[in-house]
Amino acid sequence: MDNFFPSPSSEDNLDYTPIIGHVEPMVLEDIEMVINALKGGKAPGLDRIDFRMWRAVFIHDKEFILDLINICFKFNYFPEHLRNAKIFFLLKDGKDPGLCTSYRPVCLLPTLGKIIERLFLLQLNKWLDRNNIIHHNQYGFREGKSCDLAIHDLIETIKIRMPSEHLALVSLDIKSAFDTMNWPVLFKTLESYGFPAFFKNFIYFYLKNRRVFYTNDVLEISRPCSKGCPQGSVIAPTIWNIYINSILINDRPDLHIQAFADDLVLLIGGRTARELENKTNLILAAISDKLEDLKLKLSIEKCQAVVYRSIASQKFSKRNSTVLNRKPTFKIKNHSIKVSDSLKILGITIDNKLSWTAHFLTLHVQKLYS
């Protein structure tokens, strides 16, 4: 527990004073839409009240639920007892069970809180879309976006640029991304985008005084939360997209950045091997610094790159300066990152020939040993 939820430090202190902001009250149709979309079989939180019970309450007295939610929204408030989470740990595929880093903490939250979150998210997404806040190259947890579209757009960008320049495709791994999101930095980000008071206040009360509880047959352990997005919550992915959004803002024509939640991919172009190497290392240093400003760190040992040779250069002799006749060296903080013939992005293996051979071989091996 201490590994995932360490004691708060001074840089985690959130200095924010909420002042109630206006919000249009929810109407019964909004709540009906959310209630009707609830899926059964979801594990409840600490209160053990599942969605079926709240659906029954809503059917019995719709005005009661409507009033309850509108009181929360009127005061920009997320109830404190709905913030506490029951936690369990999922072992990541292929990881050593003896290491803390091999596990992903998942929060089971009270279902009433999730209903309120969904209604808040309706309001939040409307404001984000109206103000065009989230960058179009963020493919994670957004309507009209998907893993398939992210891979398709990335491949098409490579195909368009390959005829005229060498390319470096770099996959960046953010260390414990969702778990290390810094709340003071989040609120500076909300301020910078001009979020109305209602959204800032609700998120503040959503995060403030949050605790997690781990229980088994013999003990119960609780820890305060002072950073991160609660994995398993409804609004956490959207909050993360807001938090990481500045990384995607880019005015360099030789750099393409895209993300699927916390999975970052860079595509960098250069006319010569030396230019590609220099540009990529400068951009990696800049991205690393921007992530550090967000209190995020890269797992450099998990970052990878693939290099694509320019089609135009293939007609020249190996002595020509535009020919890519060796693997470039890419570094972050003086640590080299692995340059391979293929890498995996969002479960798809992409190789340096765009042939899909490496992906089919990976699937074949998985099938043999599954």
pLDDT at 314: 57
At 317, is the pLDDT very low, low, confident or very high (cuts 50, 70, 90)? very low
- Per-residue H/E/C for the chain: CCCCCCCCCHHHCCCCCCCCCCCCCCCHHHHHHHHHHCCCCCCCCCCCCCHHHHHHHHHHCHHHHHHHHHHHHHCCCCCHHHCCEEEEEEECCCCCCCCHHHEEEEEECCHHHHHHHHHHHHHHHHHHHHCCCCCCCECCCCCCCCHHHHHHHHHHHHHHHCCCCEEEEEEEEECCCHHHCCHHHHHHHHHHCCCCHHHHHHHHHHHCCCEEEEECCCCEEEEECCCCCCCCCCCHHHHHHHHHHHHHCCCCCCEEEEEECCEEEEEEEECCHHHHHHHHHHHHHHHHHHHHHCCCCECHHHCEEEEECCCHHHHCCCCCCCCCCCCCCCEECCEECEEECEEEECCEEEECCCCCHHHHHHHHHHHHHC
pLDDT at 182: 95
For all residues of the chain together, what is the average pLDDT? 90
At 258, is the pLDDT very low, low, confident or very high (cuts 50, 70, 90)? very high
Q: What is the mean pLDDT of residues 58-87?
A: 96
pTM of the model: 0.91
Domain locations along the chain? 10-136+178-231, 147-177+239-369
pLDDT tens-digit map of 108-141: 999 999 999 999 999 999 999 999 999 999 999 9
